[in-house]
Amino acid sequence: MSTEPQSTPNPDVSNPSFQIQRIYLKDISLEQPNAPKIFLNHGEPQVQIQIDIQFEELQEGVYEVNLIGNVTTRVEDKVLFLIEAKQSGIFELRNIPVDQVEPMLSISCPTIIYPYLRSNISDLISRGGFQPIHLAEINFHQLYEERLAQAKATAESASTSSLPN
C-alpha cells in the first residue's frame, strides 16, 4: 500500500461545460409610419439590415446574449416599414478558458440564436401584410474577426495620434 496521497483531477478544471439555459424573444416591434399612403406607391423597396450583438454576465458563468436585428425598408426615400427585434438567450459557460469566453459569446451563442431571430422577423413582416424578407446567413466568426481587426486598427490609430510630435 502506498501512503502517498493520490491526486485526483479537479473535475471543475477538466470538464468545460456549455449549456443553453433559455432562448427567448426579448423585444420586437413593427412600425409603418407612412401607412396607408405608402401602399399606393409601387416603387422598388430598398432594404437595409443591421445586426448587433450584446452580452452581459448575469451571475458567475451565466450570460445573457442579445442579438439585435433592425430591418428598414424604404420606397423612394419613404419608410415602408421598420422592424426592431431583440432575440436573446441565456447560456452557462463553466470551466471555459478566459480567452475563449468572449469568442463563444460573440460566435457560438449568436449562431444558436440567429435562426430564431430570422424566423421572428420574417413572421412579423408577413403579419404586417408584406412579402417576407428572409435574412441571409451570417458567418459570426468572420464578423468577430472583422470587429477585432477594426478595434485593433482604432487602438493603433489612437495611440499614434496621441504621440507628441
**DSSP per position, the chain:** ---SPPP---HHHH--EEEEEEEEEEEEEEE-TTTTGGGG--SPPEEEEEEEEEEEEEETTEEEEEEEEEEEEEETTEEEEEEEEEEEEEEEEES--HHHHHHIIIIIHHHHHHHHHHHHHHHHHHHTTS----PPP--HHHHHHHHHHHHHHHHHHHHHHTS--
For the chain, the first-to-last Cα distance in angstroms comes to 73
Q: How far is CA 100 from the centre of its chain?
A: 17
Set of cell numbers at residue 115 = 435562426
| Domain chopping of the chain, boundaries | 16-131
Please state which CATH class domain 16-131 belongs to: alpha beta
The number of residues in the chain equals 165
Tens-level pLDDT at each residue, the chain (165 residues): 444 444 444 445 578 999 999 999 999 999 999 989 888 888 889 999 999 999 999 999 999 999 999 999 999 889 999 999 999 999 999 999 999 999 999 999 999 999 999 999 999 999 998 888 889 999 999 999 998 899 888 888 777 765 555
